Amino acid sequence: MKPFSQFFVFVVTVSATSYIDAFTRNDFPNDFLFGAATSAYQWEGAFDEDGKSPSVWDTTSHCDSGSNNGDIACDGYHKYKEDVMLMAEMGLESFRFSISWSRLIPNGRGRINPKGLLFYKNLIKELRSHGIEPQVTLYHYDLPQSWKMSMEDGSTAKSYVCFREFGEDVKLWTTINEATLFAIGSYGDGMRYGHCPPMNYSTANVCTETYIAGHNMLLAHSSASNLYKLKYKTKQRGSVGLSIYAYGLSPYTDSKDDETATERAEAFLFGWMLKPLVVGDYPDIMKRTLGSRLPVFSEEESKQVKGSSDFVGVVHYKTFYVTNRPAPSLVTSINKLFFADIGAYLIAAGNASLFEFDAVPWGLEGIIQHIKQSYNNPPIYILENGKPMKHGSTLQDTPRAEFIQAYIGAVHNAITNGSDTRGYFVWSMIDLYELIGGYMTSYGMYYVNFSDPGRKRSPKLSASWYTGFLNGTIDVASQDTIQLQRKCSGSSSL
């Protein structure tokens, strides 16, 4: 019995480079979408302009003094035409963004803000005019602060407005971003807006509320999706899916205990959201383990949830080994509580700190393979994947370009092996305000000078690489990447 981590340096080096084989854009299906992503709070700025009400993120970020917030962010609200032009020059095929609930419907439900509506119509029109497919996320963590209704009722009301107003030009909708992570993080990991102070669980039953939140998100997703199917799909011919945060998972050793622990982790981290979408109920292992702490679908709810997702949206950054032992006693967050339910502990595959992690592309390929085999090979979009680096360190972000290159190789392998994967979106198009980390780190292919009132954008090496890949001017297996690196080396400083 051998612990895999002993061989990590060798495994990661070999696996990352092995994914950089000879492939080009033309080796992917013609209708496959290569894109990049942002979200409203992290990109738009203009936090109190043109009728927008405060969101929970506005309130939370303003609890701390200073400018570590998204008040201005990248100023995408005012600079969206410039950003769309950068996308067009890059050859981007799709752009994923979210619609700010508090900008479009300031009170959460009811009156529509005409200036907010106009902004999103103009953004979508600008994208379409450059041949860029909009991929819209309906909910990306930014509830209106004045929220006073159920998640299911409110999200359905917002979805109705979005489908009606934008549906002729939007064919790909994601209802909720990272539903799994949102439930885990919001109900135990210190991001409990207006519920209890960070890292203080005295006013909340996190062992139960995490699963209630996940349950309510499934109902909210399915309500919006079924609304679309009943009222808009025949005419608009779009698709509606749910996004999950997906860890790559692999047994820590070749023991039966670790293999079984990995299966439990897959059930909790994937099956929790995906199995109800396929069969209308939770995995058996979750029901046995959690008992009354896991909500129960009524017969009507089960029918509503089953078959309600046209695709699975995958958000992936990190890969872990799974071992059959409890989480360390020093862990004080939901990670201890949630993984105590799983009965497993996750060990990072290489460096996997909050602000930096290694390329482990086989983790993404494993995720796609697992979803293919376990959930009837549904359409999959990789909605987020990227590498953080210290913000402002250099324009020559070679590790990020290599990271993207390797993970695109993993997607190519998965498609070759029969997966119905239909898109890959780099996080992120430009440097953003990161919800965890603020302006300390960034994922962007374009540098944003946040000290400049004009928020000047500058391309990094990763932007040049992605442009070359999309336009067919870079051969992944040749020396073109090295030559590109040398070409950009003269402008590596900021």
Q: Which helix (H) or strand (E) holds 407?
A: helix 398-416
Question: Residue written as tokens 């250099």?
Answer: 394
Is the distance from CB of 357 to CB of 351 less than 8 angstroms? yes
In a 13 Å sphere around the CA of 310, the CA atoms on its Cβ side amount to 17
52: left (phi over 0), alpha (psi -120 to 50) or beta: beta
Q: CA 108: distance to chain centroid?
A: 23
Specify the DSSP class assigned to residue 292. Answer: G
User: Is 178 labeled as catalytic in the residue annotation?
Assistant: yes
Q: CA 454: distance to chain centroid?
A: 28
Q: Where are the alpha helices (DSSP H) in 170-271?
A: 179-186, 206-231, 233-236, 256-266
Given 209, 266, 384, 402, the catalytic residue: 384
Given 178, 301, 365, 402, the catalytic residue: 178
Secondary structure E strands in 23-101: 33-37, 94-98
In a 13 Å sphere around the CA of 438, the CA atoms on its Cβ side amount to 12
348, β-bridge pairs: 320
Distance CA(323)–CA(303), nearest Å, equals: 36
Angle at 175 between CA 469 and CA 193, to 5 degrees: 110
Is the distance from CB of 215 to CB of 221 less than 8 angstroms? no
96: nearest Cα among 408, 388, 389, 428 = 428
Q: What residues act catalytically?
A: 178, 384
